[in-house]
Structures are given as C-alpha cells and as structure tokens.
Amino acid sequence: MLANELAIVSRQTEIGNLRVALNNFADRVSVAEVDSFVSLMNQSEQMGTSISDALTEYSNTMRESLRQRTDEKANKASFNLMFPTVLFMMPAVFMFLMGPAILELQNFFDEGGVQNLQQGSDAIDNIGNANQ
C-alpha cells in the first residue's frame, strides 16, 4: 500500500513538482503522520534546508511519539486488568485465609461450645456470689 502510494508520488513528481505530488499523497492517505511528513518535506524544500537532517529529526520525534503511545496503552492495560484480577482472586484469597478459622468455629459449635461458655460464665458468677 505505502509502496504503491510512494510510486504514485514519484510519477507525479516526474510530471509536475514535488509539492503538488506530496499534497496529493496527503489527501489520498489522510493520516496525521503523513500530513506532518508532507508539511516537513514542503517546508524543507521551500526553505532550502537539509532534508536529511529534517528527516532524522522527524524520525526521532516519531519514535518518541510511538514509545509514548505504547507506554500509555501499557498503563491502561495494567489498570484495566486490575479489576478482573481482584474480582477473581479475592474469593480464593479470602477462602485461603478464613478457611481454617471457619472450620475451627464449626468445630466449636458442633462440640457444644456455646453451652460450655454459658456453664463457665455461670460458674464464675457463682464463685463471685459465694465470695460476697
């Protein structure tokens, strides 16, 4: 696709001039990066500056822009993964941490723990009343 577009630009440049060919390229593709590339090439040609230096700086800028976009997407992905992770991991962690305590409470009630506590409380009250 890009090779075909650049071939068209090359043919249009042979027939007309570079500026018109690049503007037609930008109109056909309509991508922000292509628009900035065309603007850069037109300015370099108009000002008579080194196209090589301009393209080197442009490529460095594009690399930095792509790196920043990638970092932004990675940060969004980790944030979006946090909720499913918490949602699915918390029940397992809760069961792992609270499981032994729940089993001990079940054993306590099965063995008559409440009655034993009540008997112990009554015994303490009787000792307290006997001492008075």
> What's at 24, amino acid-wise?
N
Q: Into how many domains does the chain fold?
A: 2
d(CA 100, CA 51): 72
Query: What range defines the domain where residue 103 resides?
Result: 99-131
Structure tokens at 59: 């490529």
Q: What is the pLDDT of residue 81?
A: 86
Cβ proximity of 25 and 8 under 8 Å = yes
In a domain, 66, yes or no: no
> What's at 57, amino acid-wise?
E
pLDDT in tens, 45-101: 888 888 899 999 999 999 999 999 999 999 888 888 888 888 888 888 888 999 899
Helices (H), 2-112: 2-15, 18-29, 32-47, 51-110
Cβ proximity of 21 and 9 under 8 Å = yes
d(CA 39, CA 2): 18
Cβ proximity of 10 and 25 under 8 Å = no
Is residue 121 over pLDDT 70?
yes
DSSP 48: T
In a domain, 92, yes or no: no
Backbone angles phi, psi at 31, to 5 degrees: -120, 140
Instruction: State whether residue 3 is helix, strand or coil.
Output: helix
In a domain, 63, yes or no: no
In a domain, 88, yes or no: no
pLDDT band, very low/low/confident/very high, at 131 (cuts 50, 70, 90): low
Q: What is the pLDDT of residue 132?
A: 64
Q: What is the pLDDT of residue 67?
A: 95
In a domain, 113, yes or no: yes
Please give the average per-residue pLDDT across 35-39, as a whole number.
90
pTM greater than 0.95: no
